[in-house]
Structure 1
Amino acid sequence: MKPYDYLIVGSGLFGAVFAHEAHKAGKRCLVIEKRPHTGGNIYCEEVDGINVHKYGAHIFHTDNREVWNYVNRLVEFNRYTNSPIANYKGKLYNLPFNMNTFYQLWGVRTPAEARAKIQEQCREYEHITHPQNLEEQALKLCGEDIYRQLIKGYTEKQWGRPATELPAFIIRRIPFRFIFDNNYFNDPYQGIPMGGYNRLIGALLENIEVRTGTDYMAHRKELDALAEKVLYTGCIDEYFDYACGHLEYRSLRFEHRHLTDIEDFQGNAVVNYTDRETPYTRVIEHKHFEFGKQRSTVITYEYPDDFEQGKEPYYPVNDEKNSLIFRKYQELAQQQKRVLFGGRLAQYTYADMDDTVAAALKLWEKESL
C-alpha cells in the first residue's frame, strides 16, 4: 500500500479545499507546493500589521449561500464591499458604471437623463451591425465617452494589444446601473477573511502534511509513487510536456511599496488607471481591505505583462486557437486513470474564488461516491 491516498499538487484554494474534504473523510493526503508558502495566489504577506495581497487583490464574493457558509465556518469574514475608483488623466469616476459615474461624466442627475445620454451616444454607431472587434462592440454598447475614458486604455493595457485587434466577444455586454450604487459586485455575500487569506488556507490545511518548496515537475516520478491518486492543479500543457502546443496567457507584475510616512495613500482599496499612458492598470492599498488603522500603508502598482516561462500565468487567452489546444489536452486528461485535474490552470480558465471552492467540493463529491 502506498503512503498516501492523494498527492495534491498545489496548495492554492482548489487544492486546499479538496485536501480538506479528503482529510475529513479519513484519506491520507500529501500537499506539495512549489512556492515557499501555501495559498497560491491568495497568499498574504504581513507588513507592519497589514495583510498584503502578494499576487493581486482578491475579494471573496458569491451568490452561492452554501459556499459562503462553507468558508465562514472556517474563518470569519468582514463586511468589505468592493467599490473601485477609476482615474482617467487625474479625474476620478466611480465604478461600476452607475448614476455617480454618469453624473461625473455628464452632470446628469436622473436615470432618465443618463439613459438619454447613453442612447444619444450609441446612435452614432447604429451603423455597426456586426462588430468586428472590441472597439466596435464597446462603442455600439456604450458610446464614445464611457469607452474612450473608462474602457479603451485599461483594456488595451490589460491585453497588450489595441482594442481594434481584440475580439468583440471580450465585451458581450456592458452593465449599467441607473441607481447611485458603487458596489462592484451584484452578489449578496462579500468580504475578506478577518486576518487575511492565510487564515483560510491554514484552516483548510490544518493537520494535513504539506511540503513547500517542492517542484512536482522536477520530481514527478518519485512523488507519483507516493500516492494512489494525484490531484494536479498546475498548467495542463506543462503536465503533458506541451505535446499539443503552449497555451497562451497574460501575466502581471507587481511593485509593492511600504510607505512608512503615509497613513492613507489613496483613500480606497482599488483605484484603476484607465488612460493608455499610465503603464500600470491599478493601484491597490491593502489596509483598506480590512479597515486598517496602521500609521503606515502598503500600496501595490499592478502592471500587465507578457507571459513567458518563469512568470505566473494569470489570464488565459480564450480565443479559438487556444480553445482548440485546450480541448486536445482535455482529451489527454480524460485518459489518465490515476490523475485528477482541477483549478484555474488545469482547466485553463479565469475563475472567481467562490467558483473555485464549488468546483473543488464537486470534484471531491464525485471522488467520494
Structure 2
Amino acid sequence: MYDYLIVGAGLFGSVFAYEARLRGKHCLVIDKRAHIGGNVYTEPIEGINVHKYGAHIFHTNSKAIWDYVNQFVEFNRYTNAPVANYKGELYNLPFNMNTFNKLWGVITPDEAKQKIGEQRAEAGVSEPKNLEEQAISLVGTDIYEKLVKGYTEKQWGRSARDLPAFIIKRLPVRFTYDNNYFNDQYQGIPKGGYNVIVDKMLEGTEVRLQVDFFEQREELVKSAKKIVFTGMIDQYYDYRYGVLEYRSLQFETKVLSQTDNYQGNAVVNYTDRETPYTRVIEHKHFEFGTQAGTVITEEYPAEWKPGLEPYYPINDEKNNKIYKQYKALADQESDVIFGGRLGGYKYYDMHQVIAEALTAVERELGK
C-alpha cells in the first residue's frame, strides 16, 4: 500500500515525490509518457539537449526557489534574449530601445515615448473592445502590426479582432538598451538539461512509465491511501461539467549535421502571419554548445483536441466558469490533491509549479 499515488512525473509530481520521500512516505509515480520530466524533458540528439516540448528557460525572483533547484544541479548563465523576425526584418524582444531604434531611428527614451504616444493618440482607442484595440492602445500601431498581430493570431488561431482585450492586459515596453527578456534576478539553464533535476528528485521512488491512469484507474486508486493528480481536472471528473479548452503545440525537429550555427540565437520568433510556425528554437545555444552540427525545432500552434498535448489553458470567462465547478468538487476531496497546469487549469512557469508543489507538501505533510 503506497502512501501516495502520484499521477504525472512532471515538475509538480516530482517535487511532491521527492519531498514526501524525505518525510519517509512511500510513493508510486506513474506517467503515460515513456519518460519522466513532463514538458521539461530534454532529449539528447547529436550530443545536444533538445527541449522536446518547447523552450524552457528557468527564471525566478525567489532566492528560496533558486536555491531549491540548485541543490540538484548547477545552472549556467544563459540569458533569454529572443529575436523577432518580421518578413526578414530582425527586432529585439522584449520591446526596448534597440527595437525602437530599428523601427523609427530614435535614439533617446523621450523620442521613443513620443513616437508611441503619437500613435496611441492617432488610433484614438479609449475603451478597447478586442485584443487589437487593446494592443494599439498600449504600444501604438507600428509595434502592433509588426511584432504583435501575426504572432498572436497564429498563437490563438483566430483574428486579433475576435480575441478579447483582456488577453493582453499589458505589453512589456522598456526604455533601455536591454535585451534580457525576463526581469527576474535569477535565470539560467541546468547544465546537462532538466532531466538531471527530475532524475535526482525521483531517485529512490518507484516510477512506472507508459501507464494511463484512466485505463487502470480502479486498480491504481486501490493501491494508495491518497492521490496526487497533475492531469486534466475535467478528465478526472469524467467531464461532468463540460470540457475545458486549451491551445496545443506541435513540433517539427530537424537535425542539421552540416550546419554548426543555424540562426545565431536560441529563440527566434516569426511575427508575420504568413510563416506557419511561431518560432524556431536552436537548442545548442541554451548551453553554449560547440558541436559540429545543430538541431532546430519549428513550433506550430494548434487547436487542442483529444490526442494532442494540452499546453495553454484558455482562461476566458466561459472556461473559468466551468473550472470553478470542478474546483468546487476538488475542494471537497480529502484524499486527492490536484496540482500543476492541468490540475489547476492555470498557466504556470516552472518556478511557480515548484512553489505550488512545495506549498502542497507543507499543507499535507508539514515543513
TM category (shorter chain) comes to: over 0.9
Looking at structure 2, the residues matched to 158 and 175 of structure 1 have their Cα atoms a distance apart, in angstroms, of: 18
SS in 2 for 1:74: coil
Q: Take 2:319 and 2:328, find their aligned partners in 1: how far apart are those partners?
A: 14
2:130 to 123, 128, 133: 133
Cα deviation 1:214-244 (Å, max 9, x = unaligned): 1101101100111110000000010001000
Runs of 4+ in 1 over 2 A off after TM superposition: none
Write out aligned runs for 1:37-76 (5 A).
Answer: 37-76=35-74
The 2-side partners of 1:173 and 1:8 are apart by: 37
**Of 199, 208, 213, which aligns to 1:211?**
208
Select 1:220's aligned residue among 209, 217, 220. Answer: 217
1:348 paired with 2:345, answer yes
Q: Which residue of 1 aligns with 2:323?
A: 326
Alpha-carbon distance between aligned partners in 2 of 1:11 and 1:234, rounded to the nearest angstrom: 10
- Give distance in 2, aligned partners of 1:40 and 1:174: 29
Letter of the 1:134 partner, please give it.
L
Q: Give 1:139 deviation, angstroms.
A: 0.9
- SS of the residue aligned with 2:344? coil
Q: CA separation in 1, counterparts of 2:168 and 2:34?
A: 37
Q: Out of 89, 109, 112, which is 1:111 matched to?
A: 109
- State the Cα deviation string for residues 255-289 of structure 1 (Å, max 9, x = none): 00000100000000000000000000000000000
Q: 1:35 aligns with which of 12, 33, 36?
A: 33
Match of 1:145 in 2: 142
* Residue in 1 that maps onto 2:257: 260
SS at match of 2:154: helix
Displacement of 1:125 in angstroms is: 2.1
Shift in Å at residue 173 of structure 1?
A: 1.3
Aligned mate of 1:155, from 152, 157, 160: 152
CA–CA separation in structure 2 for the residues paired with 1:129 and 1:256: 44
**Pair 1:82-2:80 in alignment:** yes
> Which amino acid is the alignment partner of residue 95 of structure 1?
L
| Secondary structure at the counterpart of residue 31 of structure 1 | strand
Residue identity matched to 2:242 = G
SS in 1 for 2:71: helix
State the partner residue of 1:25.
23
The structural deviation recorded for 1:21 is 0.3
Q: Which amino acid aligns with 1:260?
A: S
CA distance in 1, matches of 2:210, 2:247: 25
Taking the aligned partners of 1:84 and 1:169, their CA distance within structure 2 comes to 24
> Partner residue of 1:9?
7
C-alpha separation between the residues in 1 aligned to 2:76 and 2:92?
22
1:99 maps to which of 93, 97, 100 = 97
**Take 2:331 and 2:119, find their aligned partners in 1: how far apart are those partners?**
49
Superimposed CA distance per residue, residues 27-85 of structure 1 (whole angstroms, 9 cap, x where no aligned partner): 00110010000000011100111000001110000001100000001111110000000
Structure 2 letter corresponding to 1:120 = E
Distance in structure 2 (CA, Å) of the matches to 1:235 and 1:120: 46
Give, as a single letter, the amino acid of the residue that structure 1 aligns with 2:51: H
State percent identity of aligned pairs.
63
Q: Which runs of 5+ in 1 are unaligned?
A: none
Distance (whole Å) between structure 1 residues aligned to residue 156 and residue 90 of structure 2: 23
CA distance in 1, matches of 2:194, 2:138: 37
Q: How many residues end up aligned between the 2 structures?
A: 366
SS at 1:143 equivalent: helix
Helix, strand or coil for the counterpart of 2:274? Answer: coil
User: For 1:344, what is the secondary structure of its paired residue?
Assistant: helix
Of residues 294, 307, 330, the one that matches 2:291 is: 294
Unaligned runs of 5+ in 2: none
Q: What is the CA distance between 1:157 and its match in structure 2?
A: 0.2
**1:283-329: CA deviations, max 9, x gaps?**
00000000000000000000000110000000111111000000000
Give the Cα separation in 2 of the matches to 1:26 and 1:92: 54
Q: Which position in structure 1 is the counterpart of 2:192?
A: 195
Which position in structure 1 is the counterpart of 2:238?
A: 241
- Could you tell me how far apart the structure 1 residues matched to 2:330 and 2:47 are? 43
| 1:177 corresponds to 2:174 | yes
Partner-residue secondary structure (3-state), 1:92: strand
Which TM-score applies when normalising by structure 2? 0.99
- 1:8 corresponds to which letter in structure 2? I
Deviations 1:84-110 (A, max 9, x none): 000000000000000000011011111
Question: Cα distance, 1:336 vs. partner?
Answer: 1.7
Instruction: State yes or no: 1:122 paired with 2:90.
Output: no
